[in-house]
Amino acid sequence: MAFEGLSDKLQGALRKLTGKGKLTEQNVKEAMREVRMALLEADVNYVVAKDFCKKVQERCVGHDILESLTASQQVMKIVNEEMTNLMGGQNAKLTWSSGVPTIYMLCGLQGAGKTTMAAKLALWLSKQGKKPMLAACDIYRPAAIKQLQVLGEQVKCPVFEKGTQDPVKTALEAIESARYYGRDVLIIDTAGRLHIDEELMDELKRVKDAVKPQEILLVVDAMTGQDAVNVAKTFDEKLSINGVILTKLDGDTRGGAALSVREVTGKPIKFSGIGEKLSDIEPFHPDRMASRILGMGDMMTLIEKAQEAFNEKEVDKLQRKTKVKDLTLEDFLDQMQQMKKMGSLQSILSMLPGVGSQLKDVDIDDNAMKKPEAIIRSMTSRERRNPQILNASRRKRIAAGSGTTVQDVNALIRQFEQAQNMMKQMSSMGKRGGRMKMPFR
């Protein structure tokens, strides 16, 4: 996962300050030396790393420890604040034009994931109540237009394309098409190159001058580290970009791009790609990312994911069922489906404060829910609603149908019965005014 090495080293350096009653220049300097090395190993720009450590050191030296904080916690607080500032301070939201459609122009090098990110952004905007359209203006890369059409179908977003005609003409016609069909956002997928060249930049400038986009968003691959920052700097000098989208932030990346790009270019990171699914896109929140890096979790993002994944009507329905003790295996199955929408188990657990760092060497099986799901799907509707009828022969049939064992089926039924009993206890506790009956005194 991104920042794993950086997180470990930063937390290790800051833990060494534990037990100190006052932050002296010497112990802070030693800690900052390790922090600087950790940042450089994460491919953070040298000047950025140096300035960051200087700012932290100036704030830390001579600080009296707050009454409720230890020395390491005080430094952690300062590091967290400075790291948040380094990445932009607060979430930089998309801006909107007064006319229709609002035009976002995506640019970047080949291999950064620009076309996929265009579809991800369209899906994210759809969830915000917008009606986006995609415009295929990459006429050079083989199958680029077809790829965008396939992705457009998956996110239920129309794609405007005119084959290999001049990209400027295609972009202008796409604007008219978006207006005609009532699409309020147009996302233009432009051509990339293996490296920056004048021909590419000239074409992008022509598209920019013709369509006058509300924002130019540069898509860069976080796994390229410092190279991503250099690419962002060059594109900004040539096109004056409005923001950056980091892709592959979930991969085995050192994370230097996320910590450097804002400081070097002055342009904010607006979104990050956090997985291969088209729904794996997040608005970039510097404060939340700083908390993740420092092992402090990210409860706000976790809450937002839960709110998006769990349908409010379904939650109300489940709550009513628990009150009347009518929980079924079908409800179990529904909840598993909702959980899967939140992402991998590893990513969910990493957002819990203090949990992520403890799990770095633990192999978490993201297929853990496949077995119980297969077992429940191998049951008849009657069996799901009435698990008490599951005799030995039925359990044997279910095991064979799901590719599991009878022991697996028995284990799932036991878990379900335990959940039912817990619901009954909670229901009884509520009726007695919050006092749970204890088995002994």
CATH code assigned at 23: 1.20.120.140
- If asked whether residues 311 and 291 sit together in one domain, one would say no
Q: How far apart are CA 7 and CA 130, in angstroms?
A: 37
pLDDT score, position 136: 93
- Tokens linked to 87: 């990445």
- If asked whether residues 127 and 202 sit together in one domain, one would say yes
Domain boundary among 86, 113, 144: 86
| H/E element, 186 | strand 185-190
- If asked whether residues 141 and 67 sit together in one domain, one would say no
pTM value is 0.67
- If asked whether residues 220 and 294 sit together in one domain, one would say yes
Residue with tokens 């994911």: 305
Q: Is 21 inside a domain boundary?
A: yes
pLDDT score, position 95: 93
| Burial label, 279 (beta-carbon count in 10 A; 0-12, 13-18, 19+) | middle
- If asked whether residues 273 and 224 sit together in one domain, one would say yes
pLDDT score, position 107: 92
Q: Which domain holds residue 41?
A: 4-86
pLDDT score, position 324: 44
CB atoms within 10 A of CB 328: 18
Q: How far apart are CA 35 and CA 46, in angstroms?
A: 12
- Tokens linked to 247: 């892709």
pLDDT score, position 435: 43
pLDDT score, position 352: 56
- If asked whether residues 153 and 78 sit together in one domain, one would say no
- If asked whether residues 151 and 255 sit together in one domain, one would say yes
Give the bridge partners for 271, in sequence order: 245, 283
Q: How far apart are CA 304 and CA 407, in angstroms?
A: 37
- If asked whether residues 320 and 407 sit together in one domain, one would say yes
- Tokens linked to 436: 């749970």
Identify the CATH number of the domain in which residue 164 sits.
3.40.50.300
- If asked whether residues 281 and 323 sit together in one domain, one would say no
Tens-of-pLDDT digits for all 441 residues of the chain?
456 667 777 777 777 665 555 667 777 788 888 888 888 887 788 888 888 888 888 887 766 555 555 666 677 778 888 888 888 888 889 999 988 999 999 998 887 889 999 999 999 999 999 999 999 999 888 789 999 999 999 999 999 999 889 999 999 999 999 999 999 999 999 988 777 778 888 899 999 999 999 999 999 887 776 777 888 888 888 888 999 998 877 655 556 777 788 888 888 999 988 888 898 888 988 888 887 777 665 455 555 555 555 555 555 555 555 554 567 787 777 777 766 666 665 566 555 555 554 545 555 555 667 888 899 999 998 898 888 899 999 999 999 999 999 999 998 888 888 777 766 665 555 444 444 343 333
- If asked whether residues 270 and 148 sit together in one domain, one would say yes
- If asked whether residues 245 and 182 sit together in one domain, one would say yes
Residue with tokens 């706000």: 300
- If asked whether residues 291 and 340 sit together in one domain, one would say no
Q: How far apart are CA 5 and CA 37, in angstroms?
A: 12
Q: Is 182 inside a domain boundary?
A: yes
What's the full length of the chain, in residues? 441
Residue with tokens 């590719």: 403
Q: Is 153 inside a domain boundary?
A: yes
Sign of CA dihedral 315, 282, 188, 130: positive
Q: Is 96 inside a domain boundary?
A: no
pLDDT score, position 436: 39
Sign of CA dihedral 231, 237, 241, 243: positive
- Tokens linked to 305: 């994911």
Work out how many domains the chain is built from and give that number.
Answer: 3
Domain boundary among 56, 86, 116: 86
pLDDT score, position 185: 95
Closest to 42 (Cα-Cα) out of 72, 83, 92: 83
Give the bridge partners for 188, in sequence order: 105, 135
Q: Is 439 inside a domain boundary?
A: no
Domain boundary among 86, 113, 132: 86
Q: Is 110 inside a domain boundary?
A: yes
